[in-house]
Amino acid sequence: MRGLARFAPFRLWARSLPFRVVLSTLAAAMVILVATGWFLMDQSSRGIMNGKTQTSVAEVSAVVASMQRDLSTTDLRTTSVSERINRLARDAANRGQVGNQYFVVVETPISQIGTAGLAADSIPDRIRQAVGEGGLWSTPTMIRFNDSRPDEPGLVVATTLTAPGQAPYPVFFLFSTAREQQTLAVVQQAALATGLFLLAGLTLTVYLISLQVLRPVRAARLAAESLAAGHLEDRMAVVGTEDLAGLARSMNHMAEELDKKITQLQNLSLVQQRFVSDVSHELRTPLTTIRMAAEVLHAHRAAFDPVSGRSSELLSAELDRFEELLTDLLEISRFDAGAAELALDDIDLVALAGEELDALQRLAEGTGSVMKLDADGRCVAEIDTRRIRRILRNLITNAIEHGEGRPITVYVRGDDRAVAIAVRDHGVGFSAAEAGQVFNRFWRADPSRGRRVGGTGLGLSISLEDARLHGGWLNAWGRPGLGAQFRLTLPRRAGEPLEASPWPVVPPDVREVTSVPLR
């Protein structure tokens, strides 16, 4: 079906509702017209031929009755039977030639008598056999001549003449049906012309009706597309009071309600963004004071009793996490407000990834994970160093958190148009259904699982926004027990569209392990 969709008629069938309506109606009309035409032609042919047969049989009956009376009154003392049969056959043939009414053939044991030039195969063998049983028989035939006259369709009527003391003599009357065939041809041409005119008129009528019906539907589609594009002020023209006008009124009412709801949501979103931004800013002042006091307590923790010293350490750690959370909330508010901007520079991503691995090496050693960088040469791209560094830090930290102490590999690959950085761990992983949720704010696959390396729950969400700000992709793959891989793909030059990534979403090692040969 995909191959057929390439042809213009199939594309038109798939895209044009008027074309489908017209074509379906035309196909149904053709079936009905063909069936009706066949029925009418069959009935006309039967009626004309039955009328011709009845007329021919009646005429033959009258002629044969006259011949039989003449033959029965023949004086055999003065005239032989064969002479009388010859004279009767010639007389009948002469009468039939008047107006080309019919042809006559009388068969005797030694010869055929009748119309001159008539071919013997004009009489079918089956009627020769039937006439020997007596009665009156008729059947269609093709009248052929031994001279230059053309063949013509006809009807043969057969019966017998009985002479005293003699075997019955078969008599065949052949009537031409050329006029009847011409009449049928005229009827066929008239039926065909009428059918063509009906089809053309029906096609035009259905097309105009479909346009009239579909014009409001098309207007509704255009209005829906306009609404989807954000033009909430557009409205459909309401004409009339019928159902189609009701459709226009419903579309306009929907547009008004959407405009109200979207305005409410926009206002609510602005209030939420302002609230988050204001709260984050306002909390920094008391946080600074609390941090100064916490630093004093943390510096003198050795002089405290064990419980107070441990409390000062926990206070300092939680203040660090709280400050990180405020920073992330401010960043999220910038993304929501559309105020985030890039500071672009040409940076080698291999070197950048190496620096982040070195910075997080001690954290990885604390969980037992061994980290490795796998890169092919330099991969230079036009990026915002701060944001890409933050993405790498979040991805590597996430791998350490969920890597279960197993090896972690950071892959860096590039081609002519894009570069990719993939962080692969072999930890707990996650299901395919959860791959689209890992970037949700504060989402956790297992809420009962405690954090070992901190984090605010906003890191992956901010990383996704940073990737989109660069015009890039951030994809997640995971399977329970097989670990996870996060792949960041960025264009070489800012603003260039991405078409493909130099590194696959599914890790090659998983593909090798889970692939099963076809049998």
CA 513 vs CA 200, 344, 516: distances in Å: 65, 40, 8
Residue whose token pair is 């009755």: 65
C-alpha distances out from residue 29 to 13, 40, 43, 267, Å: 18, 16, 21, 58
Say if residues 236 and 248 touch (Cβ distance below 8 Å): yes
Task: Output the pLDDT for position 373.
Answer: 93
Q: Which residue in 356, 352, 467, 368 sits closest to 426, CA to CA?
A: 368
Question: For 21-49, what is each residue's pLDDT tens digit?
Answer: 778 888 888 888 888 888 888 888 888 88
Q: Which residue has the tokens 């520079």?
A: 345
Give the three-state DSSP class for 53: helix
Domains observed in the chain? 244-336 (1.10.287.130), 342-514 (3.30.565.10)
Answering whether pTM is above 0.85, one says no
Closest CA to 329 of 459, 440, 473, 447: 459
Residue 371, C-beta contacts closer than 8 angstroms, at least 6 positions apart: 357, 360, 361, 364, 396, 407, 408, 409, 410
Residues 420-458: tens digit of each pLDDT: 999 999 988 888 878 877 887 666 655 545 455 545 567
Give the model's pLDDT for residue 491. 93
- pLDDT < 50 regions, the chain: 1-5, 448, 450, 454, 512-519
So what's the pLDDT on residue 26? 80
For residues 483 and 486, give the distance between their C-alpha atoms in angstroms, rounded to a whole number: 10
**Alpha-carbon span 187 to 37, nearest angstrom:** 10
Helix, strand, coil percent content, the chain, rounded in steps of 5: 55, 15, 30
